[in-house]
Copies of this chain bind each other. A is one copy, B any other.
Amino acid sequence: MQPAAQRLQRYRAWMRDQGVDLALITHLPNIRYLANFSGSAGYLLVRPRRAYFVSDFRYREQAHQEVFPWIEVRIPREVLREVLRLLRPGRRIGLEADHTTLRFYRFLEGALTRRASRKLVPLSDQVLHLRAVKDEQEIARIRKAQEITDRIFQDVLNLVEPERMTELDLAAEMEYRMKKYGASGPSFPTIVASGTHTALPHAQPRLVKIARNAPLLLDFGCVYQGYASDMTRTVWIGSQVDPEFEKIYHIVNDARARAIEAARPGMSTADLDEVARAYIRKRGYGEAFGHSLGHGVGLEIHEAPWLAPRRGKRPEQFISRLQVGNVVTIEPGIYLPHLGGVRIEDLVVIRPDGAEVLTRSPRELIRL
């Protein structure tokens, strides 16, 4: 069986464990993973022996072209009526608890559970767990997305014109190149932050000139054939690097290298986070590293596994041990409001013997 066909079989095995005989998948990245449909409207219904993809006339051609041949495509005149019809044989019908709205749940409840023998069952996001382990075709797409990202970073080094270009100008140049180099677009809004703005982990590019004698932080990625990349580099604009900046740069970079060195299958994700966090804490900057170490990357830019301290907020989605085939970011940072921030982020694949680094851009401190 080809790897893509195993996805549905694995999901069905899990359905059996949950005691559901029908599952309704509504989250589009999950539909893309299980059914290969890349459009933006549709429902996937999984039964023990059959599976159906239901969408509307706008996606007729695309659905027939894309959807895996072992899933039956239905393009009815009334989509919801057809979905209900296909749900009726179910006795215990699973719904994606994280992706079903209260309104849709109430609608299904009204339409389906008048018969007492039929029950709606909120399910955890098992497809997200399956998606966390990538096959080689998926890794190849992420690798290609990261190659485009690296190429753009190389371009940027030649492009930046401090005191003339704005943060938005540079972000425009970067996103422009994504499509030119064959990506479908950014995997998230490109972050270009200059000066003390680098201290905001979620900075948005402003109509503000890139400053000289200050840090410049770039956090960006693109989507190639549905799969995302993600990278951060922080450079210094000017020949004289601020000594405190240089100091935190090296701490962050060493924390990154140590985490990558430590990563291996079977290791707890919280322990990996702690490798970088402890290193930064011991050097006196523990309070200045306010986010988690990293996250999975794939059909979504943020997905399982999450590399975070032990007190995760959604334990049921928190995959506790690294597995072969995980693709994760390693992105420690130190943020000092008076000076700015440093974040250095690589993308790695977990292999049997450790982490393979996909990111090719340099990590040493660059002065521009």
In the complex, which of the residues B39, B102, B176, B313 contacts A202, with contact meaning CB atoms closer than 8 Å? B39
Q: Which residues of B contact A309 (CB under 8 A)?
A: none
* Centre residue among A97, A102, A106, A175 by max chain B CB count within 10 A: A102
Of residues 99 to 113 in A, which have CB atoms within 8 Å of B's CB atoms? 99-103, 105-106
Q: Roughly how many angstroms separate A57 CA and B199 CA in the complex, as a whole number?
A: 13
- A58-103 contacts to B (CB < 8 Å): 58-59, 61-62, 80, 95-103
Question: Closest B-chain residue to A39, C-beta based?
Answer: B202
Number of copies: 2
> For the side of the interface on A, what is the size category?
35 or more
Q: Which of A203-218 contact B (CB under 8 A)?
A: 204-205, 207
Q: List 26 A-B contacts (CB under 8 A).
A: A39-B202, A40-B202, A58-B201, A58-B202, A58-B290, A59-B202, A61-B200, A62-B200, A97-B103, A98-B102, A100-B101, A101-B101, A106-B122, A168-B180, A168-B182, A168-B184, A169-B180, A172-B176, A173-B176, A175-B175, A175-B176, A175-B179, A176-B176, A184-B189, A184-B205, A185-B189
A residues apposed to B, CB below 8 Å: 39-40, 57-59, 61-62, 80, 95-103, 105-106, 122, 168-169, 171-173, 175-180, 182, 184-185, 189, 200-202, 204-205, 207, 290-291, 313
New contact pairs (10) apart from A105-B105, A169-B180, CB-CB < 8 Å? A97-B101, A97-B102, A98-B101, A99-B101, A103-B122, A171-B179, A175-B175, A175-B176, A184-B204, A185-B189
